[in-house]
Structures are given as structure tokens and as C-alpha cells.
Structure 1
């Protein structure tokens, strides 16, 4: 299942996302009063995705969790596509946004990275939901506004700031995916150390310092340092440091990208 945001009906999606900001007489649906609040539906859908992943998030399973008939759920939400936008935008809306105050822009950018990393820790499904066409709800807009402000004082122009933010968030998201994958692999098939204990002796005959001198030397050093061929947590820390350095170099070039 290829899960992407903003793949439903645009008008219906935007009405649902901005429902609390609409005039009282502009409800997207009219008719008899319904028994559920939208927030109750969003919270139940989020819990279902948190517990079992996006593949488990279907209209039928959500209806079962809410103890209503599946067809009743469609009187609130047109379908699963709109539901995905709602739970992601709600997750964005609930992200903490403490004042940056006088911290240097590099410190603020690190805080943005940490905030998104924490989001993916709470809601691992969010890292696997394609947002090339983002949900343009209040959560997305508040998140974008806040994170752009982290670059105030960097000297970057508007387009370069947008590029820099996209670059940062893409890195964090990919790192989070790797960490989730490592966790799932460990649960399914044991630890990396257990895997290497079994595979290592079998590989030693063909993969050695004579046939692959660089790979053997560097790989052994990395494995000894991290206890694995790949440590996603170390990769995140190292990658974030290099990402900040790259953005500093970009900033020293002046207000580029406009």
C-alpha cells in the first residue's frame, strides 16, 4: 500500500482539516446531529496507526474501534485518504513549539531536527507516509511557519531557507526510518550481534583482508566501534552534525536561492 498525503478530495480534505476555523454555518456536511466528535475519530485513528502501523488503519478497523458501523464512519470522513491527512496534521499541530528566543540559528535548527525526530519516535508511521504533497491544514502551516523561523539570522534568502529546511527534514525522516527498520529487524530476527555471530564465520572464507583489504579493515573498525555493521543512532548523530555544517557553509555564501 502506497500511503501518500493529499490524495483525497481536495475540497473535502481542506474542510475537514480546517473545520475548527470555519464559520458556524459552513459545516461541510449537514443533516442529523452525529454522536462522535471529529477529535475522537482522529485520536482513535492515531492510536490504531501507532499500535499496528498504517496497514492496519482501514475505515473498517477504525469503525470497529469506535464501536460504530463502517458506513456510519463515512458520514464523518469521505475515506481513508482524507483520514491520513487528518491524523498527520493533528500530529503536527500537537508538536511542541517553544520560543527560540536568542539562541543562535544553528541551535534552533538542531532543535527543529530533535522535534521531528521525537515526532517519529511517537508516531513511527509518520516517517513512512509520503508528504510530497503535504496536508495543508493548521498543523502543517504552524509547523512550517515555526521551522522557517529557526533560520532567522542565518543570512539565507527565502528560497535557500526553504531548501535548507527541506534538506534537514528529509535527513531526519530517513534516519528515523532506518532506526525503525533496525528495531523491527531486531524484533523479528534477533540482534545484529547474534546475526553476525552466525554469519561471520561463514563469510570469513571469502571476505578477508586479502581479497577486500579496505572493506575488511574499515568494516572491522566500524563494527568494533558500533557493535554492528550499521548503527542507525550513530548515523543520525553523525549525519545531523554534518548537515548543520553543510548549512553553515551555505549560509556563508550569503542570501542565495532568491
Structure 2
């Protein structure tokens, strides 16, 4: 699904845009344009039409200006994409602020759910490889907030980083099925349930339980329950709970003195 890569723009120019240390407005700059307005228009294009439709020309059309006028503010598509990413990362930082009265598990679960919701709002995020992330203020703020969810519970710094990376990676993989299901429904005009209802009777006749005993038994039970080939949301809920269970074992079994000692009552959900 990846079609673009973050971090492909000029580093100095990307960082200047991300941190707004310099907004390139020359003598011919338009008073009705700004980096923020261009970025917002670009996000709207990607949300509505997909990342493949994103171009400097398409953004200019949405704004009703000439393409060349954008380059006064944004050097190119690579830098624009980095700022788009950082901007949408900022949408959930405030919403996921950790609750001091909640335990680490509740805070980390909230982080996961906010990330899930962000992907559903902006499905094009799944098409951008971010192994070289845009190092902007919103991404750093999100990372800070995620780390606060597991701060002070007995993990080392590297373990804290590994935990938030694990949760983020799980959400990224789990939400892909939900996004693809929504896109398939929009493209075909059939919901997952309608597609399953049309195909299930034929599968039931063709599937030989003597040849595929487990697939027949488990697949039948799942199909009857989901009324679809799968249930991305249920898979997300199940997987998130199991990941949090595993992290809880790590925290609970942390020996005293390793990484700050075992979780205190204030930092535990138990």
C-alpha cells in the first residue's frame, strides 16, 4: 500500500517548515496564502481523493490559485508531505493527554484508540512509509505523550520506547483491514455483510470438512458470528487487550531496582 516516503524533501527546508522557523514569502507572495492554509488544503485533497491524487497542481486548484504561487511557501511535494504528516499527528495529542487518575494501561489504551481513529480519518497515512519520520513539533509532542503513558512504572528508557513502538505498530497493522474494508465497500457498493451473504452459500458447498477440518469448523463459527469474512474492529480489540496483558506481565515481574523498581500502586491498574 506504500506509495510515498516521508523525509524525502530537503532537510533544512522541511525542518524550517515543520517548526515554522521561516515562512518563505517573497515580494510576490499572496496575502491570502500561508503554509498552514496550503497544508490544510493538501490534507483535504488526500482525505477526499487519496494520496495518488496529491500534487502541487491539485492543491493549487483546490485553493483557486496558480501552481507556482505555492512554491513561494512550500519548496515541493516532499516537504509538503512531511508537514501534512506532522499536522495530522497533532490532531490527537490533546485528545490523548494522560489522565493522572488513570493507570498506565488505561492511558496506553487511549493512545492506541486515538491512533486508530486518526488512521480512519486519514486513510492515506497507511500509504506513507515513515521509517524516516518528519521530526516536527506535533510528532515529538505525540511521542512525549505516549511515553508519559508508561513513565514511572518500572521500565527502562529503552523499554518505554519499545512499548510505545509496539503499540503504534500494532495499530498500524490492525487498522489496515478496517480501512481496506471501507474502501472496498465504497468501490463495490457492497458492505462486508452483503459480500459475505453472496459468497457464503457457495463456500459452504465447496468446503470439504474432511480435507479442511479446522478451516471448516473455525471458519464456519467465525462467519456465523461476524456475518463477514472478518471483523477488523473485533480483531483490534482482541489484539490490543493481549498486547496490554503482555506489557502488564513485563511490568509486574520487573525486579526491584531494575529500571526504577516495580510499578507502584499509583502507576498500576491493579
> Structure 2-normalised TM-score?
0.86
Residue 31 of structure 1 is matched in structure 2 by 26
1:157-192 CA deviation, whole Å, 9 max, x = no partner?
111111110110111112221101011112223133
SS of residue paired to 1:195: helix
Residue in structure 1 matching 2:39, options 30, 39, 42: 42
2:49 maps to 1:52: yes
Instruction: Using the TM superposition, give the Cα deviation of residue 151 of structure 1 relative to its aligned residue in structure 2, in angstroms.
Output: 0.2
SS of residue paired to 1:135: coil
Partner Cα separation in structure 2 for residue 82 and residue 67 of structure 1: 21
2:216 maps to 1:216: yes
1:170-227 CA deviation, whole Å, 9 max, x = no partner?
1111222110101111222313333333333433444121221111001111111111
Residue 5 of structure 2 is matched in structure 1 by 4
Q: 5+ unaligned residues in a row in structure 1: which ranges?
A: none
2:67 maps to 1:65: no
> Is the Cα–Cα contact under 8 Å of residues 58 and 80 in structure 1 kept in the other structure?
yes
Correspondence 1:1-258 to 2 at 5 A: 2-19=3-20, 22=21, 27=22, 29=24, 31-32=26-27, 34-35=29-30, 36-95=33-92, 96=94, 97-189=96-188, 190-254=190-254, 255=258
SS of residue paired to 2:129: coil
> Is the Cα–Cα contact under 8 Å of residues 45 and 53 in structure 2 kept in the other structure?
yes
> Is the Cα–Cα contact under 8 Å of residues 98 and 107 in structure 2 kept in the other structure?
no
Partner Cα separation in structure 2 for residue 219 and residue 30 of structure 1: 60
Partner Cα separation in structure 2 for residue 137 and residue 33 of structure 1: 27
Partner Cα separation in structure 2 for residue 165 and residue 198 of structure 1: 41
Greater mean alpha carbon deviation, residues 197-206 or residues 52-61:
197-206
Partner Cα separation in structure 1 for residue 41 and residue 106 of structure 2: 35
SS of residue paired to 1:76: coil
Q: Cα distance 1:147–1:187, how it changes in 2: closer, same or farther (>3 A)?
A: same
Q: 5+ unaligned residues in a row in structure 2: which ranges?
A: 260-270
> Structure 1-normalised TM-score?
0.90
> Is the Cα–Cα contact under 8 Å of residues 105 and 153 in structure 1 kept in the other structure?
no
Residue 262 of structure 2 is matched in structure 1 by none
Misfit runs of 4+, over 4 Å = none
When the two structures are aligned, how many residues end up with a matched partner?
250
Greater mean alpha carbon deviation, residues 142-151 or residues 241-250:
241-250
Partner Cα separation in structure 2 for residue 94 and residue 235 of structure 1: 25
Partner Cα separation in structure 2 for residue 193 and residue 89 of structure 1: 36
